[in-house]
Structure 1
């Protein structure tokens, strides 16, 4: 090393052999399950998406997608790479949109009440980015049921709720603002006869073993949504464990209807879980901000609410 040079200066850094564009096309294909749908969403030709993903697979040396008649799904390695691709794209987007975020210099306390699904599958990455940009903000996060979150907001024990707003029980006292919607889809094993269906009518599920995820009022809400379409779940398992539900579905022991927010294509034991759209128009799950109507947000609460509104994509798996 030359005298006066900084440690590591001059050391070679190997540039990646793929582009952000290739990652974007790959992530879009994984999201929509069809190359054609991804191309329409991006606004380019289907052949351009196909070529970009094939080039990416050649660069990496392994397939990222399984191709079949009804579309594409992630391979096991593709699922692992997808997680890294998402982080790279999010970092690039953040670098473009938030270069001076730290200069806002917010300080104070923020009390958040959030439900199980919101804490476990939505909020934490955004909260981490916000706190990195505003290190003087102190956060108190409480995981509660939706009614408990509402009670905490009404009693002044929480500044902001982040909950499933489609279930809001006190609309006269609480103000809500949607952040994201996620489609509810059918989860099945990869050897299910329903794999051949492009979309599945709810009546087709009558008699099949059904699994209820017992968090965030899952059973009550789902029953209310599907009853008008003549579907009465044949319940064989009720569980609060997301991994137990995934394992059960992956083993082919039942089916379930859950929002895309919590979807992962593999169980802990490596069993593949597939999704199919429902033919019947049940509403999506909606996550949003909730606060007390007669209590204006303070600077810190408004700052975090604004950050979420600008950072969160409008939809998760809606097409």
Structure 2
């Protein structure tokens, strides 16, 4: 039996749908028909032998196989984009850029991009700072930093411009064998009966309580911790459950125990990651380059880029 020829189009359409969460939004951003994206995703699923999305009332939700393929998809698109560049590196550009980032972004999002930027622009010097959201916002407004890579869903300073690059879905984390894994629909009321591990770093607790407060329930908090690895281990060992984003998810704890995930029946907002800078500032060549790189990788519409 002949196999489909996997091509750039399949990966591009898949990544756009995964990033935006809906076929209609991906079609609009890519200026193509929804049927073209739907057909490409079906072909990709047939080729991989795995269902990559669950189709829900909220949109397209990645399966475990889809999350694994998304990580590969970003690498594929970045590699193709780099291959299309005239030469292996841009030695002509030279400049310095001060970039602030929050803990979660620096630990789980930025490293691979910093390596690619260094390889592509060897004479671009990025001065990196890890700070809290409040300190980042203040530093951008007072021109201590040129740009920031942050959780844009947390930014609330009207003096800043934000540009979301990707949305990371939040799911319920459970240990292997947990009774909730057998439920067709898991709701906040079900979770409220379980011991809950509340992550606090990067205002995670504040974000969690915002969507909990929209329900009639509250989490039964057993522990508050700033350590994602602590949450991972405690959940894997059956001492509690938590709701966290796909970006920080790993299927195994440090002890080698399995962590399962479940999509909630009720809506849980995603964690948005992107760029921020001071409103009204003239983007320097280094800032334009930095922004342009992420636009290419995450398929940001070209209309959003500065002329």
Corresponding residue number in structure 2 for 1:61: none
Q: Is the 8 A contact 2:170 2:269 kept in 1?
A: yes
Residue 283, structure 1, aligned to residue 279, structure 2 = no
Q: 1:145 aligns with which of 121, 129, 132?
A: 132
TM-score (norm 1): 0.72
Q: 2:122 aligns with which of 128, 135, 138?
A: 135
Q: 1:235 aligns with which of 217, 221, 239?
A: 221
Q: Is the 8 A contact 1:198 1:277 kept in 2?
A: no
Hey, what's the Cα distance between the residues in 2 that align with 1:175 and 1:115?
A: 17
Root mean square deviation of aligned Cα? 3.5
Residue 221, structure 1, aligned to residue 217, structure 2 = no
In the TM superposition, 1:181-220 aligns within 5 A as: 181-220=167-206
Q: 1:258 aligns with which of 227, 238, 244?
A: 244
Hey, what's the Cα distance between the residues in 2 that align with 1:312 and 1:45?
A: 18
Corresponding residue number in structure 1 for 2:39: 43
Hey, what's the Cα distance between the residues in 2 that align with 1:301 and 1:246?
A: 36
Q: CA deviation at 1:242?
A: 1.6
Hey, what's the Cα distance between the residues in 1 that align with 2:195 and 2:241?
A: 6
Structure number with greater Rg is: 1
Secondary structure in 2 matching 1:246:
helix
Q: 2:112 aligns with which of 117, 120, 125?
A: 125
Secondary structure in 1 matching 2:181:
helix
Corresponding residue number in structure 1 for 2:305: none
Q: Is the 8 A contact 1:189 1:274 kept in 2?
A: yes
Structure 1's consecutive aligned runs of 4 or more residues displaced over 6 angstroms after TM superposition are 45-48
How many residue pairs match? The answer is: 267
Change (3 A) 1:203 1:240: same
Residue 246, structure 1, aligned to residue 232, structure 2 = yes
Hey, what's the Cα distance between the residues in 1 that align with 2:97 and 2:163?
A: 18
Q: CA deviation at 1:120?
A: 0.5
Hey, what's the Cα distance between the residues in 2 that align with 1:142 and 1:112?
A: 6
Q: CA deviation at 1:46?
A: 6.2
Q: Is the 8 A contact 2:4 2:43 kept in 1?
A: no
Change (3 A) 1:272 1:291: same
Q: Is the 8 A contact 2:81 2:296 kept in 1?
A: no
Q: CA deviation at 1:231?
A: 2.5
Q: CA deviation at 1:169?
A: 2.5
Hey, what's the Cα distance between the residues in 2 that align with 1:290 and 1:45?
A: 32
Hey, what's the Cα distance between the residues in 2 that align with 1:115 and 1:253?
A: 28
Q: Is the 8 A contact 2:82 2:88 kept in 1?
A: no
Corresponding residue number in structure 1 for 2:54: none
User: What are the ranges of 5 or more consecutive residues in structure 1 without an aligned counterpart?
Assistant: 1-17, 55-70, 315-319
Q: CA deviation at 1:125?
A: 0.8
Hey, what's the Cα distance between the residues in 1 that align with 2:215 and 2:284?
A: 45
User: What are the ranges of 5 or more consecutive residues in structure 2 without an aligned counterpart?
Assistant: 24-35, 51-61, 301-307
Corresponding residue number in structure 2 for 1:12: none
Hey, what's the Cα distance between the residues in 2 that align with 1:264 and 1:280?
A: 23
Hey, what's the Cα distance between the residues in 2 that align with 1:215 and 1:149?
A: 15
Q: Is the 8 A contact 1:199 1:276 kept in 2?
A: no
Hey, what's the Cα distance between the residues in 2 that align with 1:190 and 1:145?
A: 34
Secondary structure in 1 matching 2:144:
coil
Secondary structure in 2 matching 1:283:
coil
Q: Is the 8 A contact 1:202 1:231 kept in 2?
A: yes
